[in-house]
Structure 1
Amino acid sequence: MQANGAGQDRDSELSCRNGAQNGESSSSEVTNGLLPVTNNGNTVSNNNNGVSAQPASNNTNSPSDVTSGGKKKKRLSQSEEDVIRLIGQHLHDLGLNQTVDLLMQESGCRLEHPSATKFRNHVMEGEWDKAESDLNELKALMHSPSAIVVNNNHNISSCCFQRMKFLLLQQKYLEYLEDGKVLEALQVLRAELTPLKYNTERIHILSGYLMCSHAEDLRAKAEWEGKGTASRTKLLDKLQTYLPPSVMLPPRRLQTLLKQAVELQRERCLYHNTKLDSGLDSVSLLLDHACSRKQFPCYTQQILTEHCNEVWFCKFSNDGTKLATGSKDTTVIVWHVDTETHTLKLMKTLEGHAYGVSYLAWSPDDAYLIACGPDDCSELWLWNVQTGELRTKMSQSHEDSLTSVSWNPDGKRFVTGGQRGQFYQCDLDGNLLDSWEGVRVQCLWCLSDGRTVLASDTHQRIRGYNFEDLTDRNIVQEDHPIMSFTVSKNGRLALLNVATQGVHLWDLQDRVLVRKYQGVTQGFYTIHSCFGGHNEDFIASGSEDHKVYIWHRRSELPIAELTGHTRTVNCVSWNPVLPGLLASASDDGTVRIWGPAPFLDSDIYKPVICSSTCVC
C-alpha cells in the first residue's frame, strides 16, 4: 500500500486545511482542486476546496472553526483527512462534483494540490505546453522531503520526472500524428523527446509511426485509444503513480483499498471456494465476507456401488467431465459427470485387467487411460476411453512390478515403474524408449517442462530424473517411507502421504517442508491425497480411520472431517473444473461423491445410490 501522507507537516501546503483558511487566492480554473462544475448550465463560482478565500483571522474561534451551533469544530486527525480525500475522489469519479464541493467546504480539506489540479485539467484538455509547465512546478513537490514516497520499491527521483515528461510528450506526439500534423509531430520527436535521452528504443518505435497512412493504422500499431478522454485518462493514471499522494491521490484509491480488503477477507475465509465473486460488484461491502460450510463439498451427494470389492483408486479427468475408478475386482469404471447437476452416471466398464487396479492416469487430452496393478503386477493396460478398446497391454518382463505411471505433457509418452527396480519411459504402443536402472519406484510424476520426472523411492526421498541428459538430483528427503505424492498444477508444491506421519506439504523449488497437516491416520497403507478447490487452496486426503480430511492449504488443522465410509479411504480426487465436487474411494467397496449441502431440508435429504447387479 502506498504511503498516504501520514506524518507530514499538517501546516504545509501539502496537507488538508483545517480551521482558519490559509489565505490562498482562489483559482479561476478549479473547484475543490478539480474540474469546474455547473448547475443547470450555469458555472458555479470557483474557489479552493469549495471554501471562499478570506484573510486569516487572529480570532481563535474563526468562522471556519465554529459550527452553526456555536461549538468549536473538531480538528480532524490525519486518518480522517485521508478518508475524506478518498471519499471526495470517489465522488468525483462518479461525477458528483457539487457534492465534492460541499464535502471539502465543510471539512476544510483540500482534495489535491492546486498545481496537481492545474496539471490534471491541462492534460485532460490536451494543453500540452501548459501541462509541461505544470509538471515543472510539480517537480519541486516530488522532491520535497515531506513528499517523498516509495513507488514500486524505488524513491521518487529525477528518473521518474523524466518518465513523466516522456509519457506526456509521447501523447502530444501521437495526437499530432492523428491530426495529420506531421511537421509538428516531427518537431516534438526531434526537439523534445530525443533530447531527453530516455528510452531510446521506444523513440525508434515512435519514429516508425510517421509512416502510418491513416489514423486507424496509427491506433492499431501504437495500441493506442486515439486522441480523447480515454487515452488522456489512461495517461493521467500512469502519471499519478509518480506523484506523492499528498499532492495527487493515486487513481481510484478507495476502490483499490476496498478490493484489497475484500481479497484479504477471502484469503482468510476457510471455506471460500468459488471464482464467481472476484469483483466488488458481486459482494456486499456492508458485511464481512464469510462463506458457509454448507457451500463447501462436505455432504454426500451420491454413493457409487458398482464395484463389488475394495475400491483402491479414483481420478477425475482433466476436463472434469469423467471420473475413473479402479477396484480390487479388476475392473475400471468410467463415470460421466453432469456438469449442471453434478451427478454421475456409468459410462463404460473397462475390462481385461487380470489384477486389482491400484493406480490410474488420464492422458493430457483425456483420450486414454492407463491402469496399474499391485506389487505383483508386471503389466500396464492402456484403453481408448471413448471406444472402450484396449489399445496397449505392456509388459517388459514377468519379473517386473509396475505399480505407478505418469503421462508426459506431450501425451505421446509415459513413464512407469515399481519397487523391484524398474523405471521405464514408453510410447503409446508400449515400446520402450528409455530406462533407468536400479530405481525402486513408489510413485511417479512428470513435470510440465516435459523433461523432468519426479520419483519417490524406497530411500524415503523424491528425486528428479532427466531422461534427456540422464542426470538426477535429490529434491525431498523424509524420515519415513513416502507412500504416495502428488504435485500442484504450477509444479511448485508437492503433497506427500508419509507412513506413520500423515500428510506433508513440500516446496519443490526451495526444497523445504512447508507444513504438516494434523488429524489423518496414516499407517503403511497406500493412501492418495490431492490438491483441489478454487486456486487449489485446499487439500484432501483419505485416512485409515474411515474419514476424508480436508484442510485449507495454509492451516494445519482440518476444516472438515467427512464421515460415511465404513473402512479405510484409499484415495480422494477433487474435480479440477467443478471446485464443489469431490470423490473418495474406500475399502468398503463404494465411491462417495461429495458436494455442498442440498437445497432440500437436511432431515429428508438422502444421497443417491447408484448400483447394479455385479457378478464377481
Structure 2
Amino acid sequence: MQQAANGCTQRNGVSEEHSEHTSQQNGTDVSPESNAINGGPNGDITPKIMDKTSQDIVRLIGQHLKTIGLDRTADLLMQESGCRLDHPAAAKFRQHVMDGDWAKAEHDLMELKSLLDGSSQSLIEMKFLLLEQKYLEYLEDGRVLDALHVLRTELTPLQHETERVHELSSYMMCVGREELQLRAVWDGKGIKSRTQLMDKLQTYLPPSIMLPPRRDQFPCETIQILNDHCDEVWFCRFSPDGLKLATGSKDTTVVIWDVDPETLTCTHRKTLEGHSYGVAYIAWSPDSTHLIACGPEDCPELWIWNIESDDLRVKMSQSAEDSLTSCSWHRDGKKFVTGGIRGQFYQCDLEGNVLDSWEGVRVNCLWCRSDGKTVLAADTHHRVRSYNFDDLTDSNILQEDHPVMAFSVNATDRLALLNVATQGVHLWDLQDRCLVRKFQGVTQGHFTIHSCFGGVNQDFVASGSEDNKVYVWHVKRELPIATLTGHTRTVNCVHWNPVFHQMLASVSDDCTIRIWGPKKHRSSSSKSSETGFGETPSSSTNGNAWHDMCS
C-alpha cells in the first residue's frame, strides 16, 4: 500500500475500505499473489527512477487524465512513477482558493514562501491578488464593513499598487452586483473568477511545484483556412462577445464571420463592400453591434457599420486631405476617436459628427482607456502619449527609439504591447512607465504588424511576423513558447478570441485567414468546405512548446 496523490490510501486504484472484500485491476478478479504492479507480492508499488524530462511528460499525462475524468488512473500513474502533479502545499493552497477560504489560503501562502519565484516580492503580489478577490466578494455579498476592513487593514498596508487600491475603494459606491462586476471587469463570486485568480497565482509558482492549467486548450494547429478575400488581408479582430470575426483586406472589403464555439470554426456571414482604399484597421463597439473600418495611410474616410442589420450607418470624411487610419471606441460605445499621420485627431459620435479635435497630432495608433476619458496615441515622434478630451490635458507615457507602428493594451489597462519598427514586440508597464520585456524571434521591419494579448487572463502574447510565421510568448518570458507555421507571406495581424481562449486568428499577404485551435479540434473539424478546412498542413514548429511552458 502507498499514499495516493489525492491523499486517499489506495491499492491499485481501489480504496482501502473496499480492499478486504475485493482486489481488482481493470475490473478482473486477480489473486493476492498477482495483485502487484512493479512491486512485491503484497501489492506495494515501487516507484520508477526517471530523469526530469520523463517526469515532466508523466506529469503532463497525469494532468490530462485528470482533465478527462480518469482520476484513479492518474493516481495510479503518479504512484508507479513516483511523481506528483502538484506539491502538497500547493494542492492545499489551490483547494482553499477555490473554496474561498481566504484565511487558510493566506496561511498556505506563507508555507509556499520558500518555493516562490522572486521570493518576497512574489509573496506580496500573490497576497494582493488574494485580498483583492476577498474584497470584491465581500462587496458582492453586501458585507461592506468587512470589505472596508480588508481595504484599510490588509490591502493598504501592503503598499503595493496604490492606484489599484484607490480604484478598488471607488467600488464601494457601486449599486448592486451588476455595476460592481461591470466596473471591476470581474465575473463575480464563484468558480469562474476563482479559477481565473488561481491561474494568475500559478504564474508565481515554479512548474515543478504546480503545473500550469489547460495545456490541451492551446491554439497550436491550423483548424481552418478561409479564402474569401482575393488580395492581401491586412487586419482581423474578434468581436468582444467572441461570436464574430471581422477581416479587412486590400481587396476593399470587410468580411464578417460567425464563430462556432463548439468547433472553433468560422462561417461566412456578410461581405461589406465599398472601402475604396482597402481596409487596414477595424474596431468593434463594446457591445459587438457596430464596427468601424479604416483604410491605409492615404485614406481620408472611415465607415461605421451596423453589424446587426448589416447596414452602413455612416461614411465619415471631413476633408480629402485627412488621414483616418486608426480608431478606438470609448467604453460606453457612444463615442470613438480616430486619426492619422497627417495630423488629424478627432473625437466623434456614432453619426460621425466631430465633437472635439486635437490639432497637430500625427497618429499611428489609438487606444481608449477604461476610465472613459483618456486616449493613448502613438505618434510619429516614437512616443505614446495620453490625451484627455474633457480637460484638454496631455502627457508623455513612454518613449521608444524607433517608430511605434501599432500597439494594444490588456484588459487590466496596465500593460501595453508595442510593435516597434526594426525592433519587434515590446511590453511596457503603463503605470510604472517602464519597459518590461523585449520579446525575441519575430521579424519586424517597417511594415505594420499587429500583435495582441490573449489566452486565460491574457497571460500570452501573439504577433505576426515578416518571416511568414506567428509567434506566441508567455508574458513573463522573452523567448517564444510556440512558432506557428503555415502562411506563405507576411503575417500582418493576429487576434486571440477574447471569450473562447482556445481560438486564434491570423491574416496574411498570402490572401488567407488561418484559424488556430487545439490539436483535438483538427480531427473534429475534418469536414471539407469551400472555405478550405485544412488545405495546407501546418502546426507549431516548436516541438518543445509544452515542455518550454512548464520548465
TM-score by length of 1: 0.53
1:607, 1:300 → 2: CA distance? 14
Name the structure 1 match of 2:491.
569
Is 1:610 the counterpart of 2:531? The answer is yes
Q: Give 1:439's match in structure 2, choosing from 357, 361, 370.
A: 361
**Alpha-carbon deviation of 1:499?**
0.5
**Alpha-carbon deviation of 1:376?**
1.0
Is 2:221–2:522's contact at 8 Å kept on the other side of the alignment?
A: no
Alignment of 1:165-180 (within 5 A): none
Is 1:351 the counterpart of 2:277? The answer is no
2:197, 2:500 → 1: CA distance? 26
**Alpha-carbon deviation of 1:410?**
1.3
Is 1:302–1:609's contact at 8 Å kept on the other side of the alignment?
A: no
Q: Give 2:419's match in structure 1, choosing from 494, 497, 505.
A: 497
Is 1:542–1:571's contact at 8 Å kept on the other side of the alignment?
A: yes
**Alpha-carbon deviation of 1:349?**
0.8
Name the structure 2 match of 1:106.
none
Residues 308/468 of structure 1: CA separation in 2 closer, same or farther (3 Å cut): same
Is 1:301–1:607's contact at 8 Å kept on the other side of the alignment?
A: no
Name the structure 1 match of 2:328.
406
Tell me how large the CA RMSD over aligned residues is.
2.8
2:359, 2:523 → 1: CA distance? 59
- 5+ residue gaps, structure 2, are 1-122, 125-148, 150-195, 534-551
Q: Give 2:294's match in structure 1, choosing from 369, 372, 377.
A: 372
For residues 112-132 of structure 1, the C-alpha deviation after alignment (integer angstroms, 9 at most, x for no partner) is xxxxxxxxxxxxxxxxxxxxx
Matched residue of 1:610: which SS?
coil
Is 1:430 the counterpart of 2:352? The answer is yes
Question: What is the one-letter code of the residue matched to 2:409?
Answer: V
2:411, 2:365 → 1: CA distance? 17
Is 1:403–1:417's contact at 8 Å kept on the other side of the alignment?
A: yes
**Alpha-carbon deviation of 1:402?**
0.5
Residues 314/601 of structure 1: CA separation in 2 closer, same or farther (3 Å cut): closer
Residues 487/264 of structure 1: CA separation in 2 closer, same or farther (3 Å cut): closer
1:450, 1:356 → 2: CA distance? 30
Q: Give 1:452's match in structure 2, choosing from 374, 379, 401.
A: 374
Question: What is the one-letter code of the residue matched to 2:262?
Answer: E
1:497, 1:394 → 2: CA distance? 28
Q: Give 2:229's match in structure 1, choosing from 297, 307, 319.
A: 307
1:367, 1:339 → 2: CA distance? 19
Q: Give 1:341's match in structure 2, choosing from 263, 268, 274.
A: 263
Name the structure 1 match of 2:409.
487
Alignment of 1:188-203 (within 5 A): none
> Displaced runs of 4+ in structure 1, greater than 4 A?
259-270, 290-294, 599-602, 604-609
Name the structure 2 match of 1:228.
none
Q: Give 1:590's match in structure 2, choosing from 512, 526, 550.
A: 512
Name the structure 2 match of 1:382.
304
Residues 608/424 of structure 1: CA separation in 2 closer, same or farther (3 Å cut): same
Residues 261/591 of structure 1: CA separation in 2 closer, same or farther (3 Å cut): closer
Alignment of 1:102-501 (within 5 A): 289=211, 294-501=216-423
Taking only the aligned residue pairs, the percentage that are identical comes to 67
1:342, 1:585 → 2: CA distance? 16
1:348, 1:331 → 2: CA distance? 10
1:373, 1:554 → 2: CA distance? 34
1:600, 1:353 → 2: CA distance? 34
Matched residue of 2:519: which SS?
coil
Question: What is the one-letter code of the residue matched to 1:437?
Answer: E
Q: How many residues align?
A: 341
Q: Give 2:478's match in structure 1, choosing from 552, 556, 561.
A: 556
**Alpha-carbon deviation of 1:598?**
2.2
Is 1:547–1:561's contact at 8 Å kept on the other side of the alignment?
A: yes
1:589, 1:560 → 2: CA distance? 23
2:294, 2:407 → 1: CA distance? 16
1:402, 1:561 → 2: CA distance? 33
Name which one, 1 or 2, has greater alpha-carbon Rg.
1
